[in-house]
A = this chain, B = another copy of it.
Amino acid sequence: MATIGDVAQAAGVSRSTASYALSGKRAISADVRRRVEEAVRELGYTPNAGARALATSQTMVIGLLAQFLEDEFAPAMLQYMLGVSNTARELGYDILLVTEADGTRALRRITDSRMVDGVVLLNVAERDERLPILRAAGQPGALVGLPADCTGVDVFDLDFEEAGRLMVDHLHRLGHREVALVSQPEHVTERGGAYVWRLQNAALEAAKARGITLHTTSGSSHQPDVGRDLNALLDAHPAVTGLLINNEAAAAALPTVLHERGLTAPKDLSVVGRYSDEFARTFSLPYSSIESAPDRLGRMAVRQLVRRIEGEVAADEPHVVRFVTPELVDRGSTGVPRTA
């Protein structure tokens, strides 16, 4: 493997000159620059990442902490990962992927050993154990998901409250008066997935304001349990004319459940989900949904993270907490309620 010393020798200059010729940080004569570039090409020189990291204390790597928790729906996570990964590459950064179950230990490892310049945390919980460690690490961090304490990090999330209102308002406007919301499993909420009750509370409030009935339930994240949950819900509330689904597994299972019950949307039941368009295509889901925009959130997180890494924002500039405004993608699964 050729080093910059080899390049310098081949070009007949010193190592420092070769370095400056390549970085352009000092004026170098056109002739020397040409010879250095020539040598680089001939020797197939690529800078050694470790050496450069040591010298510049910049690794050009971003840590991506994605926890695949027991009852979380994995394919949904993938889209955030791809949003982060692709954006990072566009900005010149590589991704160190951490899927370790013990996120705290992993985070400590990669920050303490300076393997990364910054970190993106996915699936951030209300009181996320990783946050104190991130703050102590002194490296910039961007979160996807809203924790209780946002100090020292940039935060990006869907506006789940607005999403809850949007869902309820949409069905209310169509004339629905009794609807049901299927949330994530209780495990997820207990573990701190605050977005679940952020959406739910806002939905309940909107329902109250509009004077309509909203039943709430938490569905399993596993098959076939979630199918049973859906059936139980529909059995328990036969007067329900609209379904709000804030649970990917439930959304994926719903077509089968409706078929089995001989129901079709929107004729018998109006359905609104909360998942990405990509997710809808993958699972062939025909329901209108609030776009959860995972790629966009991942992209925003990385953009801001890189701005911090590269010092484009002053260190004391306040950190941002930015919500993506939810939008309803109409796939025609909602309509006026069936008449009793």
Q: Interface of A with B (CB < 8 Å)?
A: 1, 44, 46-54, 59, 61, 64, 68, 73-75, 78, 81-82, 85-86, 89, 94-100, 106, 109-110, 112-115, 222-224, 227, 249, 252-253, 255-256, 259-260, 281-284
Q: Nearest chain-B residue to A90 (Cβ)?
A: B100
CB within 8 Å for A48 and B113 given contacts A75-B75, A75-B282, A259-B259? yes
Is there an interface contact between B54 and A51, defined as CB atoms closer than 8 Å? Answer: yes
Residues of B within 8 A of A109 (CB): 46
Is there an interface contact between B46 and A113, defined as CB atoms closer than 8 Å? Answer: yes
Residues of B within 8 A of A82 (CB): 68, 74, 99
Residues of B within 8 A of A96 (CB): 61, 94-97
CB within 8 Å for A78 and B89 given contacts A96-B97, A223-B281, A227-B284? no
Is there an interface contact between A252 and B283, defined as CB atoms closer than 8 Å? Answer: yes
Residues of B within 8 A of A114 (CB): 1, 48-50
The distance in angstroms between the C-alpha atoms of A50 and B116, with both chains bound, is: 10
Is there an interface contact between A97 and B74, defined as CB atoms closer than 8 Å? Answer: no
A47-B113, A252-B283, A255-B259 provided; 15 other pairs, C-beta below 8 A?
Answer: A1-B114, A48-B114, A49-B114, A50-B53, A50-B114, A68-B82, A81-B97, A86-B100, A94-B110, A95-B99, A96-B97, A97-B97, A223-B282, A223-B283, A259-B259
Residues of B within 8 A of A260 (CB): 259
Q: Nearest chain-B residue to A108 (Cβ)?
A: B46
The distance in angstroms between the C-alpha atoms of A202 and B263, with both chains bound, is: 42
The distance in angstroms between the C-alpha atoms of A284 and B109, with both chains bound, is: 37
Q: Nearest chain-B residue to A260 (Cβ)?
A: B259
The distance in angstroms between the C-alpha atoms of A251 and B52, with both chains bound, is: 48
The distance in angstroms between the C-alpha atoms of A109 and B49, with both chains bound, is: 10
